[in-house]
Amino acid sequence: MHDDPGETELEEELRRVAARFEPVPPVLLQAALDAYSWRTADAELAELVFDSLVDRDEAALVRGGDDGRMLSFHVGGLSIEVEVSGTGASRRLIGQLVPPQQAVVDIRHGGDVATLETDELGRFSSGTLRAGPVSLRCSTGEEANRRRVVTDWILI
């Protein structure tokens, strides 16, 4: 053992030990590098403005219950409302664009993209997804005035 190491010395030693016993897993370093390729520079970003997990009391008031997790993303007059259900490692999303409008929705998830079309009221529903980060990319309007929106990544 060192002779009474100073605080900084002990901290530096601990840093080396932590780097050895608890390094950033290489697969996660790679995942962080890969995150860059998911960037959609040409789309508007709909930010998460409501999450019943965090704003639970408010959610209970609005919905009168707390089954399923409610999320709301918003940008420039468009909202994307999503309900997340499922337990363990499987999840399912049911959502709607507000104001209601038809759109193509890409579910970006687990390194993959699943494309689906909403009904005329902007409603959509995913298949079974594994728990993990997810983001929606929506494309609305006619070719001439196409609008592209991506949501914040969230962990479901």
Contact residues toward other proteins (CB under 8 A) are 1, 7, 10-11, 13-29, 31-33, 35-36, 38-41, 45, 51, 53-54, 69, 84, 86-89, 91, 131-133, 135, 150, 152-156
Nearer residue to other proteins within complex by CB, 51 or 106: 51
Nearer residue to other proteins within complex by CB, 27 or 144: 27
Residue 76 phi, psi (nearest 5): 35, 60
CA-based end-to-end distance of the chain: 46
Count of helix runs (H) and strand runs (E) in the chain: 3, 11
Q: At closest approach, how far in Å is the CB of 52 from other proteins?
A: 10
What is the rounded distance in angstroms from the CA atom of residue 71 to the CA atom of residue 83?
6
Q: At closest approach, how far in Å is the CB of 153 from other proteins?
A: 4
Q: At closest approach, how far in Å is the CB of 73 from other proteins?
A: 12
Neighbours of 79 (CB within 10 A): 17
Nearer residue to other proteins within complex by CB, 36 or 120: 36
Q: At closest approach, how far in Å is the CB of 35 from other proteins?
A: 4
Count Cβ neighbours within 10 Å for each residue of 133-142 and write b for 16 or more, e otherwise. ebbbbbebee
